[in-house]
Structure 1
């Protein structure tokens, strides 16, 4: 009997240690930033006009951003990137939107690239909202498109719920960060351990713009089923575009992705069909 009790105590001690470890290191597990020196110079490889922007938030945070422009732009895409690297690497996706007639704007989260400040869920929302307001001073809201990629989809949904952009595009989105974390750590009580809840599905319920989902059907990192569940939250003003055989990191390499993206951005009939004002 004593050996059974001793075994149970050892198991509970190990389990508690794993919980404490998961709680303590989750920021290192979920975020993989690339830091850049202040002297780093961004270069627009195809000579597209590009401005490096610094936005002082007022809480000690200073956000670094890139703003690409093109002649006679139809609007601007505010692109929320994923959880790795910096805008130095992610800026390569600007061409996917510039080529379709839109300006492009992207920020680095605190602790990424040249951005400074403490990184928490609520602070990222506030920084993103502050950045949106900076953009809205330069473009009418009905010409601002919010695009969220992977982890950035949750931040994008939050900002779309607070504002009135033309549309929200969700690329490889997750239902909530808790649901995603539970997939990777199913034996731990992530509901109580995780610091970043990011309930994307709740944010979507408060949006008033058309929402378009793009998701690879062979995505293992964030399974396709997450977007299926999300689009059920707003059945009247959304559309899900599956990319057959698309994985998590190869969508921009597939012609099907670019066909879908061009339709979302430039097909007026598609937009009108899902615009709640109509």
Structure 2
């Protein structure tokens, strides 16, 4: 009898701890998913003469934008970065785009870099991406358009590209570096003890990818332990015009440093 009562008490205690942990994950999810690095207003993102920085107004925030603008570009490379840092980390190595004669546009999510506000939902993230793109879209009418994302940004890039396709303005290329089939699927692999209903940022890349009409290039490190390459393999199989570039020896955070990636990017831009 005493043992039964003790066992029941232990189970109740474990259940309470588990429920508390799940509740904490629900309400503190942004702190786990996003690792912003703020910048002061007087800290320049890039000092190159052909770049500028400014803000795009969105409901409740100002989004910090970096824009490399060439005299007569062939097109624009619209890039959505990963879950950490700020534009000083991501708005770099621009010479490859200059050589391909492509402008570059990047922005910091809410709370990152010089962007104000804070991320509150996936819907808000997608809306912010749309708002920044809408600011630039008229500038590149009749030009080549590349929608790209890396890591966290791949789900957002796929979402924007799918929306453009549904509007009859399919990108000339969608480029996804280290993508996940969905954040929900990735979370189930990394944290199998957490109910999938807890995740408020499911980011269904696979659903968006299936709607893409133009060519898609996937780049993935074969040693990526954070987002295993089978996510890119799944995405690639779901699309008719997809190419998967496997980067031998690359992990997650270093994939962009490999010559294979630079060659693939230069080749893809050169074909447009």
Calculate the TM-score normalised by the size of structure 1: 0.89
Task: List per-residue Cα deviations over 1:110-145 (Å, max 9, x = no partner).
Answer: 111111234121111111111111111100265111
Deviation at 1:81, TM superposition (A): 0.4
Q: Is the aligned partner of 1:165 residue 2:171?
A: yes
Report 1:1-278 matches (<5 A): 1-44=4-47, 47-57=48-58, 59-119=59-119, 120-140=121-141, 142-163=143-164, 164-189=170-195, 191-234=196-239, 236-267=240-271
Using the alignment, how far apart are the partners of 2:192 and 2:96 within structure 1? Answer: 36
SS in 1 for 2:139: coil
Unpaired segments ≥5 residues, structure 1 = 269-278
Q: Tell me the SS of whatever aligns to 1:137.
A: helix
The answer as to whether partners of 2:161 and 2:171 remain within 8 angstroms in 1 is yes
1:273 corresponds in structure 2 to: none
Instruction: Check the 8 A contact 1:87/1:107 in 2, yes or no.
Output: yes
In structure 2, the CA distance between the partners of 1:176 and 1:245, relative to structure 1 (3 Å rule), is same
Q: Residue deviations 1:6-39, cap 9 Å, x none?
A: 2221221121121112222221111010112223
How far apart are the structure 1 equivalents of 2:215 and 2:117?
33
Gaps of 5+ in 2: 165-169
Where 1:92 maps in the other structure, the secondary structure is: coil
- After superposing the two structures, state which structure 1 stretch, 110-119 or 121-130, moved more: 110-119
